[in-house]
Chains A and B, each alone.
Chain A
Amino acid sequence: MAKLLLHIYGLIPADFKDVELEFEEPVNLRHLEEEIIKRYGQEIEEQYISREGLLNHRFVISGDKYGKKIDYDLPDLTHIEEIWFVVPLAGG
């Protein structure tokens, strides 16, 4: 089992989640997103969920703590310290 720190920012109105979750290794982006939807799907705004029941990457960015993009084709994410799911905002 691997523990991963996930930051879920901007998908749920005004609720920014920092959660540590355990996964069987290896774990890829699809596994993470399935788990996120299972736990928080009710709260996540509809447009941020794709037809396949994953996160909608037309809006949602997934990246490591340095902002490097994480894609579905990465086979294992357990070596990544923190994973961020963010809806970018160019406001203010």
Chain B
Amino acid sequence: MQGRLLRVNLSTREIGVEGIPEQYLRDYLGGSGLAAKYLYDEIPAGSSALGEENKLFFSIGPLNGGYFPTSGRYNVSCRSPLTGLWLDSSSSGKFGYYMGRAGYMAIIIEGQSDQPVYLYINNDTVEIKDAASIWGKTISESIQLIEKESQVKGSAAAIGPSGEKLVPMACIINDGGRAAGRGGAGAVMGSKKLKAVFVSGDRKFEAADPDAWRKVIRELTGKVVEHPLTNSLKTYGTGVAMGLATQSGDAPTKNWQLGNWEGYGKISGMTMASTMLRQHSPECHVCPIQCARYVEIEEGPYAMKGSGPEYETLGSFGSMLLNDDLESIAYMNLLCNEYGIDTISSGSSIAFAMEAYEKGMLSQEDLNGIDLTWGNTEAVLAVLRLILNQEGIGKLLGQGVKKAAQVIGQGSEEFAIHVKGMELPMHDPRAFFGFGPTYATSPRGGCHCHGYLGAFEGRNPIPEAGINEIQDRHATSGKGILAKAVQDVSTAVHSAIVCIFTFYSLSASDLARAINAATGFSYTGEDILKIGERIFNLQRAFNSRFGSSGADDTLPPRVLSSTIGGPVEGLVPNLEEQLQEYYQARGWDSAGKPSQAKLEDLGLDYVIGELYG
């Protein structure tokens, strides 16, 4: 299975299968790494994110299909319509598992169809099918219809009306609400008129060393299961972090202004567990953590049942807007999942609009008559509907805060909270200083997944990177080095590809053992970090092709000034100092450009010509 790539051209309707060179798998593993290699080689400079030349790359990793905890994930990559830069976005559920069963480590989709289609894949049967009858439908309806028509067990990843309308924050949803959420891969799918990809098959995973594989699975699953945080995530979901926000200062509040708010407890994972939670969602394949929620609200204006809001959504539709109505957040989460739109970006855009309205930069007339005041839940829902239906101000807000601020002007750039055009996630660099350089340098813009600090800063050392001490969350020195190491680990994890939540308990060396048993390679933990570093630098080179440089490695000014009140008031990361330490650790020059020596050391000689040409 490992070496097969399915190539589908929607313009010419050509379909072919290629072998993936073994060296690619050794150097880039799979997932995000393999995507970086192919898309760097195949997406030319000057191509438009929503044009024919952009490509969509679905990929899984070497651990897929063999009961490694959380290994049912998949990655999707392309040039992002939100940032214009590199995009990878991963999702859990069962889609990745079925992609492996179908026998493909990667599916590359190129060209554009002139009619709505979906891709049907069942082992070697690959068909481009008509999707006219499901175009315009919500995601759950679409997936139900496709699964019914397919008549085999499998999984579909689909876009909703937001992707069809090319909203740059549109996402791809699979398995009852699991999302490849950030950066607009859904819009790229929409631009190709591709409604969904359905995967199914019966190929079986075979480890290179079955005995070692069984041992590794047993040991590492045990490690994940026994970790204390696994229990907390299982019981309260990711929303547990919202319950701790009063003390940690981690949850952005009132569009990143306040340091504290009495509403955190009302929208926490603990409150969810005691009210609307029905069960841990079983959608994620072989996951012992089970943080995903299935919730139900039986009556009232927000009656719903389905996937429950994650911490990020509790932040973006809760604390960011001073909305303490948990039922409304669950309902809006469901709407976003049905229309296929990223909750972080859409909630953040509404927070931006609230502040613009408060400051008189947007009038009630601009907002289609909506009185968009802080904490006004009904107004939030009304504006969200405008974004989802692409009506009125919703058209502009759906473009993201960077674009919205450019259009509104009047100094609104000051409170448009994004990095490189991507709205920041719900973790505050003033609470965990390591997020400063991590956000500033992430290849896909403001993102906490390319450097999953949550599992490391103040928690776990990284001995494979020579970091043996646990880092104080409010120290400045060392955070550039930490950010680099965490980004390298996270990038390898997204290439392997497993859920980053396992890295509260696992290490790079654990990952190396698993990959070795699965593939027959002989990596160490240090090798895994180097692979992550290689991929990270390649993604940086991809961004350089589209005009990005070290000058874009910044944070919004608001995040570099104090919160008003709260536990971290007065504490602000020194980004300039952190970045210089970071660039040095990376072997980049002081302007953030990878040195030729570093690129050669990483085996990336082939990018030097373009970067230095």
Q: Chain A interface (Cβ within 8 Å of chain B)? A: 9-10, 12-14, 16, 45, 58-59, 61, 63, 65-69, 84, 86-92
Contact = CB atoms under 8 A, between A and B. Distances in A.
A86 B567 CA distance: 12
Contacts of B431: 88, 90
Contact of A84 (B234, B247, B453): B247
B87 interface: no
24 contacts: A9-B243, A14-B234, A45-B228, A58-B458, A58-B472, A61-B248, A61-B567, A63-B247, A66-B246, A66-B260, A67-B249, A67-B259, A67-B260, A68-B567, A84-B247, A88-B247, A88-B250, A89-B244, A89-B250, A90-B250, A90-B435, A91-B229, A91-B238, A91-B311
Contact of B247 (A14, A16, A45, A61): A61
Given A58-B458, A58-B472, 18 more contacts: A16-B243, A58-B470, A59-B458, A61-B567, A66-B566, A67-B249, A84-B247, A86-B248, A88-B250, A88-B473, A89-B229, A89-B232, A90-B241, A90-B448, A91-B238, A91-B454, A92-B241, A92-B311
A88 B248 contact: yes
Interface in B192-245: 228-236, 238-241, 243-244
B104 to A, nearest CB: 31
B231 to A, nearest CB: 4
B283 interface: no
Contacts of A12: 228
B246 A67 contact: yes
The 8 A-B residue pairs with the shortest CB-CB distance in the complex, in nearest-first order:
A92-B311, A92-B238, A88-B248, A67-B567, A14-B231, A13-B228, A90-B454, A13-B231
B312 interface: yes
B413 interface: no
Contact of A10 (B232, B312, B426): B232
Interface in B242-285: 243-244, 246-250, 259-260, 270
B235 A14 contact: yes
Interface in B444-477: 448, 453-455, 457-459, 470, 472-473
Given A14-B236, A16-B270, A63-B247, A90 B427 contact: yes
B229 A69 contact: no
User: Which of B431, B472, B567 is the most central at the interface, judged by chain A CB atoms within 10 Å of its CB?
Assistant: B567
Nearest to A92: B311
Contacts of A59: 458-459, 470
Contacts of A69: 567
Contacts of A10: 232, 240, 244
A63 B567 CA distance: 8
B423 interface: no
B501 interface: yes
A22 to B, nearest CB: 24
Nearest to B230: A13
Interface in B559-613: 565-567
Interface string B427-444: 100011001000000000
A57 B217 CA distance: 34
A82 B67 CA distance: 45
Contacts of B240: 10, 89, 91
A61 B552 CA distance: 34
A91 B270 contact: no
Contacts of B311: 91-92
Contacts of B27: none
B310 interface: yes
A89 B239 contact: no
Contacts of B233: 91
A92 B232 CA distance: 12
A91 B241 contact: yes
Contacts of A14: 228, 231-232, 234-236
B248 A89 contact: yes
Nearest to A11: B228
Contacts of B310: 92
Contact of A13 (B232, B435, B501): B232
A89 B457 CA distance: 10
A61 to B, nearest CB: 5
Contact of A65 (B235, B246, B565): B246
A13 to B, nearest CB: 4
A67 B259 CA distance: 9
Nearest to B240: A89
Contacts of B504: 91
A90 B474 CA distance: 14
A84 B246 contact: yes
A14 B459 CA distance: 17
B235 A88 contact: no
A91 B248 contact: no
A14 to B, nearest CB: 4
Nearest to B427: A90
A69 B239 CA distance: 23
A68 B567 CA distance: 5
Interface string B56-100: 000000000000000000000000000000000000000000000
B228 A89 contact: no
